[in-house]
Structure 1
């Protein structure tokens, strides 16, 4: 039987394998760049919502700010995610706001319903871990869309504070804390001529399964860098396909 860690990774991966959004050819995208940024940003550049609520691709956080507000505007979005598998269920709802294409504020609530797996672990069928996530992101430099004359990406830094409601159970399975803070730096670049978006993020964390199983563990209690990557390709005016990859700490002995 697959471990909880393997199953959870598989479930999270389903959130970001394929994204469908309004799109256009590279030339038409260039033609649509407004003379004034007050006209808003291009479609796709705001991303969707990650599991933690920040703007990004689903698994990976991007350097772009959420929504389509430009440097003198405000944009935002709300999200709801459901991953329903035979042995457990993952749910997430949240909202984010982008301020002046510079700052992003986000909040999300995650629920991990252990379903039948909870009974096997002695927690009871349907036992649920709930986690609240509050995040902030700040763009430091670059513009993923407008800086087409340079390879330099848009770069942002951010932090996410996470709090889990099952501290006693987390400690029983080997976790150290029921709360923690992730820090990250993200770089995002949109290549208009090739209709390709690329993102790379480095996250410093000790969260187990993004924090749903606590922070730190009996096998490791150190903050370590983890990688998140995204690539998206505009196949047509109406279709974008993409893939994402995200590594996570291996802190709990029972989940190895």
Structure 2
């Protein structure tokens, strides 16, 4: 699986290099920031453009179809027993292709997992297929994109005393894996409403933080993720998300994620998202439903 992850990441890098060199070189085009405020979404916790929990069909950055855009993000979600930090960058090309890189750091704060530390790297690719969320207001067809997230778990820290250093020792079948998804986003400007539905094919346990596949199953499962957002003003958006999850591990009765969020876009260079998030149970060792605060800051153009 490590070899497969490296191959996937290498192919994505080659695709980006090819796109930069094809036609008009992106490096010779200044970002035009031609998209409407907030129409690139925010940085999802795995690095893709969308909501906080789920990727949307929107392409990150404010570059129009003749230009490009980019952003960087830092996100922290803290529950009563755990904390997750995510940071990374994303590039949107010609409002058609998005490439993202993200790192996740997960740690425990309550015994017996208070010393737990898990890290994960994620490489993402998204391609818009049809539709335009902004300009196709007179059509029922939403904007539709396909994407993937290649993930590599970098091991388990803090459990060396009981001999656990890898997620495979917790029941996972693999340390690396790839999620595939199809996202459909419809923006209703007259109603100030955004609706999104994403179907993700995945083997990931807790997004991959506990590995991929497990003692209860090792097949891809199609899981639904939905979002709804209401534009209170041109700079303020409120909404909610719900993300279903697989249950592959006996030691982790994994449950759906959901949140209620507010995102503020003071200008096209900065956004701040705050949310109340519920991440379900995370392992049988701390079986309480994990609830807490989510804060994400994104900057770019």
Q: Shorter-chain-normalised TM-score: which range?
A: 0.7 to 0.9
Structure 1 residue 68: Cα displacement:
0.7
Return the alpha-carbon distance in structure 2 between the equivalents of residues 71 and 134 of structure 1.
23
The yes-or-no answer on 1:172 pairing with 2:169 is yes
Corresponding residue of 2:18: none
**After TM superposition, where is structure 1 displaced by more than 6 Å over at least 4 residues in a row?**
none
Give the number of the structure whose residues are more often strand, by fraction.
2
Query: Paired residues, what number?
Result: 214
The yes-or-no answer on 1:50 pairing with 2:44 is yes
* TM-score (normalised: structure 1): 0.80
Structure 1 residue 254: Cα displacement:
1.1
Within-5 A mapping of 1:75-224: 75-117=69-111, 120=112, 125-166=114-155, 168-224=165-221
Deviation by residue 1:2-38 (Cα, 9 ceiling, x = unmatched): xxxxxxxxxxxxxxxxxxxxxxxxxxxxxxxxxxxx6
SS of 1:186's equivalent in the other structure is strand
Structure 1 residue 237: Cα displacement:
4.1
* TM-score (normalised: structure 2): 0.69
The yes-or-no answer on 1:228 pairing with 2:228 is no
**Any unmatched runs of 5+ in structure 1?**
1-37
Corresponding residue of 2:63: 69
Return the alpha-carbon distance in structure 2 between the equivalents of residues 237 and 164 of structure 1.
39
Within-5 A mapping of 1:34-45: 40-45=34-39
Which deviates more from structure 2 when the two are superposed, residues 59-68 or residues 228-237?
228-237
Bigger RCO of structures 1 and 2 (CA < 8 A, at least 6 apart): 1
When the two chains are superposed, the root-mean-square deviation of aligned CA atoms in Å is 1.4
Counterpart pick for 2:243 among 243, 246, 251 = 246
Corresponding residue of 2:281: none
Return the alpha-carbon distance in structure 2 between the equivalents of residues 159 and 92 of structure 1.
18
Return the alpha-carbon distance in structure 1 between the equivalents of residues 57 and 235 of structure 2.
24
Structure 1 residue 87: Cα displacement:
2.1
**Any unmatched runs of 5+ in structure 2?**
1-31, 157-164, 254-301
Partners of 2:37 and 2:235 within 8 A in 1: no
SS of 2:213's equivalent in the other structure is strand
Return the alpha-carbon distance in structure 1 between the equivalents of residues 137 and 147 of structure 2.
24
